[in-house]
Amino acid sequence: MRDRLRKIKERYKIINEQLSEPDIAQDIDRMTELSKELRSLEKIVEVYDKLLETEATIEDLKEMSHEKDPEIKEMALSELEESKANKVQLEDTLQKLLIPKDPNDKKDVIVEIRGAAGGSEANLFAGDLYRMYYKYAELKGWTITVLNADEGDQGGYSQIEFSVSGDHVYYFLKHESGAHRVQRVPQTESQGRIHTSTATVVVLPETKEVEIDIDKNDLRIDTFRSSGSGGQSVNTTDSAVRITHEPSNLVVSCQDGKSQHENKATAMRVLRARLNDLIEQQKREKEGAIRKDKIGTGDRSEKIRTYNYPQNRVTDHRINFTIQQLDRVMEGKLEPIIEALINEEFQRKLEDETT
């Protein structure tokens, strides 16, 4: 850790010197890049300097503790213990600051929810999950925009895609990907039997054009007429768009926009996010097993959480976390679950850094 801290401090010094150079001051892009890097190192250097000062103080106090004067010796021993405790705290803070940050944490996201096993009940549950995330976004001050939605015949959604914009959205929602299971008595169940249904959630960080370069020659773009639930026509023009990325065979459709141009732009946003996710998955597979600091795989087939209505219980199976507040959770009060997942991720990263 010390070698790394010394290198960071040296880099911090170099950046400060570069920012004072006239050539850099005239290059806005370079100056912005260096200023951003400087800010990312600032806190680490600040705490590291405090650690060095504390260690120097400890050495001075050790010498003073050998003084013959009993008052000086007692004062030195008292302050020595305090300084040692301060040193431990500073080292702990630095260890946390040095844990690698997920570069996607500050990004907005695209979320896809699909009704899976359970027919109409799965679609209804997909609708409940969408409402849950919508409520959570409201509490966080985020903005949700529906990009594409296929309503179920009896309500809910067979599929819904929406973007979430705000502060550190991916940081809070990245662990929501996977299969969500519901246990409850469906509205259509006449004998009061509990059924189990599932809906899948995929959370993708938004990706800019400069991050994912898509060759237009690799795309097949089809247009078709938008339709509502049950196939009822809601548009008399071919404004809906389907984009197929032929090398990866990824297919994205969008029909909720007011024009073909709007639907195409939205479909491209979703395609970039999906393509980026595919590239990341291939990268992880190539590198071998997923690091232990990751909670689950993020795969939509992985059962991550159960919502048990009769017992008002939610259980996240990845971290064995259970809360008897299903009614609050479905109203968007997701903080206890999300905080538990974030803390677990942090602990795993901390263990990974120290082994």
- For 78-104, the pLDDT digits (tens) are 999 999 999 999 998 998 888 878 888
User: How far is it, in rounded angstroms, from Cα 146 to Cα 163?
Assistant: 6
Residues 82/84/88/91 CA torsion (nearest 10 deg)? 110
pLDDT for 234: 47
CA 334 to CA 20: how far, in whole Å?
46
The conformation of residue 233, written as its DSSP 8-state character, comes to B
- Pick the range with the lowest mean pLDDT from 14-23, 262-271, 276-285, 326-335: 276-285
Given this model, what pLDDT does residue 241 score?
A: 87
Reported as a pLDDT band with limits 50, 70 and 90, residue 224 is confident
Amino acid 231: pLDDT? 39
Give per-residue pLDDT as tens, 141-159.
999 999 888 898 888 999 9
Q: Is the pLDDT of residue 178 over 50?
A: yes
Residue of 48 and 263 predicted with greater confidence: 48
In this prediction, residue 187 carries a pLDDT of 72
Domain 109-301: assigned CATH number: 3.30.70.1660
Q: Domains of the chain: which residue ranges?
A: 2-97, 109-301
Check pLDDT > 90 for residue 209: no
Name the packing angle between helices 2-19 and 28-64 (round to 10°): 130
Q: Is the pLDDT of residue 298 over 60?
A: no
Average pLDDT, the chain: 86
Question: What is d(CA 99, CA 93) in angstroms, rounded to the nearest whole number?
Answer: 10
Burial 61-93, CB ≥16 within 10 A → b, else e: beebbeeeeeeeeeebeebbeebeebbeebeeb
Of 110, 114, 204, 111, the residue nearest 159 (C-alpha): 114
Lowest mean pLDDT among 68-77, 122-131, 170-179: 68-77
What is the model's pLDDT at position 284? 66
In the prediction, which pLDDT does 334 show? 96
Is pTM beyond 0.85 here? no
- 203 and 215 Cβ atoms separated by less than 8 Å: no
pLDDT in the model for residue 148 = 87
110-124, 181-195, 218-232: lowest mean pLDDT where?
A: 218-232
